Structure 1
Amino acid sequence: MRLISMRPAEIRVLTYNVRALRDDKAAVAGVIRACAPDVVCVQEAPCLLRWRHECAELARESGLVVITGGRPASGNLLLGSWRTKVIATRNARLTRTRGLDLHRSQPLLERRGLAMAVLKISGVRVGFVGLHLGLDAGERARHVAEVFGHVQLLRTAYQTEHLVLAGDVNELPHQYCWIRFCVRFVDCAAVAGRADELTFPAVMPDRRIDGIFASQGLQVVDCRVVDLPEVARASDHRPVLAVLRVPA
């Protein structure tokens, strides 16, 4: 099954929180294959023992290759198809948040990061940033500014005009970070008229917290939440698939 038809100058971008592959790894790979993406921004990729092997296996079973990420990007992982030519890769850790979480009795919140790459697709350079913001609102707000800093470095270092941000934002579209992203990028689902499609939880979702954001020069052809039978058992999130037209 192939979701959303594609033209030669179009790229298919998928974002998917796979919950560290704790549910059904075969189903995750099956969902990714069915979407036939050029680039996948994975959140909660394997980061523990044998994480490189686990990430490579996910890529292989999905018919893709690892571009960058994994543990150095705090669980963000970029996968790519044969259509993508890698120009550069970069992983980053966002600043750590210290302080006692009274509800969880944890002295330290989970470290967040970014997986980034500049790829040549249809002869055009496009930058990709995979992200997974945290559960604390103050941390998310601080990290958005850091994300924009890394985006600017990517633009400057590799002369990349076109950029895609994708991942688990961990907040709703009317909240601060989502709005900040929409100041500099377009919310692909909203442009495609599918802002009402929800992503979490995978079974009977009640909120949209996962998104794909594109720079103004990229045309949003379509964007939708993937709702295949395997999605319910693959992870606790539903993936989002966008088709973007690259300018000639």
Structure 2
Amino acid sequence: MDHGPLPGTLPNSRTEPDGSAVIRVLSYNVRSMRDDEDALARVIRACAPDLVCVQEAPRFFRWRKHAARLAAKSELVVLSGGATAAGPLLLCSLRATVERSEDVLLPLTPGLHRRGLATAVVRIGGARLGVLSCHLSLAAEERYAQAGAVLDGLAALDVPHAVAAGDLNERPGGRAYTRLSARLTDCRAAAPWGGEHTFPVDAPDRRIDAVFATPGIEVLGCGVPLDLPPADTKAATDHLPVLAALRVPAS
């Protein structure tokens, strides 16, 4: 459903009388937390998300400690992922009740980085939702195959409604992007809100980070929040965050 650009802020998280839930989903590449951690946490808190799909979470020495610290500073908890998913990480608010989670490693192409998926099924209000965080390859052929793996990963969650979000390393119109948008709703395209471009943070000129939703989820707005302090977004990492507000039917 195309609502057109939305002014002001996105709808707040809430449970509707019919049991459906308005949730806020954030996608954010954090560059292994090599930059200003406090600025990163302030950006995440300012977005007030229920679910955060992180890319490039720390994967090496004491990675669990780093993930837990980011969650605590962001007033969230770790849900799934990290090194066990080769970088994608899921965080959530205490509003989410976790049913299950699974980290999936994708096939390794010699000479390229290992990639993976962080997945989970949660309940928020009366809604049951699958969630998947991904970071696709820089290599076009591998990226296209990984887009198929994202679709397979969502199907494996076996839930009526799901979201997938991440750094696609590709703009809309590319083969991998098109493979996803043919089956899923590109939330920014469906209900543009805020800014469009996500990379690079100093002079963003391309949209390579996205939130997708399965049919049946109503997109209330999606884009880069424009009211975040520029000093924080520039200090936090090399990408801008993408925030979506979604209404998920009761399950």
TM-score (structure 1 length as normaliser): 0.91
Q: Does 1:68 align with 2:80?
A: yes
Q: Does 1:241 align with 2:240?
A: no
Q: Does 1:166 align with 2:172?
A: no
- Distance in 1, Cα, partners of 2:146 & 2:194: 24
SS at match of 1:139: helix
8 Å CA contact 2:10–2:220 kept in 1: the answer is no
Tell me the alpha carbon deviations over residues 23-72 of structure 1, each in whole angstroms, 9 at most, x when there is no partner: 11111100000111000000000111000000000000000000010001
- Determine which of 2, 27, 31 is the counterpart of 2:39: 27
8 Å CA contact 1:197–1:208 kept in 2: the answer is yes
Name the aligned partner's letter for residue 231 of structure 1: T
Query: Deviation at 1:204?
Result: 1.2
CA RMSD of aligned residues (A): 1.4
> Which residue of the partner structure matches residue 5 of structure 1?
11
- Distance in 2, Cα, partners of 1:191 & 1:211: 12
Query: Deviation at 1:226?
Result: 2.6
Query: Deviation at 1:194?
Result: 4.5
Highest RCO, 1 vs 2 (Cα 8 Å, sep ≥ 6): 2
8 Å CA contact 2:148–2:179 kept in 1: the answer is no
- Determine which of 20, 40, 45 is the counterpart of 2:52: 40
- Distance in 2, Cα, partners of 1:38 & 1:17: 17
- Distance in 2, Cα, partners of 1:167 & 1:129: 8
- Distance in 1, Cα, partners of 2:168 & 2:33: 19
Structure 2, gaps ≥5 residues long: 1-7, 16-20
CA distance 1:30–1:141, change in 2 (3 Å): same
> Which residue of the partner structure matches residue 183 of structure 2?
184
Tell me the alpha carbon deviations over residues 139-170 of structure 1, each in whole angstroms, 9 at most, x when there is no partner: 10111222222222111xxxx10010000000
> Which residue of the partner structure matches residue 126 of structure 1?
129
Name the aligned partner's letter for residue 112 of structure 2: L
Tell me the percent identity: 50
Structure 1, gaps ≥5 residues long: 99-107
SS at match of 1:141: helix
Query: Deviation at 1:193?
Result: 2.7
SS at match of 2:155: helix
> Which residue of the partner structure matches residue 101 of structure 1?
none
> Which residue of the partner structure matches residue 104 of structure 1?
none
> Which residue of the partner structure matches residue 66 of structure 2?
54
- Distance in 2, Cα, partners of 1:59 & 1:188: 25
8 Å CA contact 1:212–1:240 kept in 2: the answer is yes
Name the aligned partner's letter for residue 140 of structure 2: A
Query: Deviation at 1:3?
Result: 4.7
8 Å CA contact 2:147–2:177 kept in 1: the answer is no
SS at match of 1:72: helix
Query: Deviation at 1:195?
Result: 9.2
SS at match of 1:53: helix
8 Å CA contact 1:189–1:195 kept in 2: the answer is no
- Distance in 1, Cα, partners of 2:11 & 2:151: 32
SS at match of 1:55: helix
Number of matched pairs: 234
Name the aligned partner's letter for residue 35 of structure 2: D
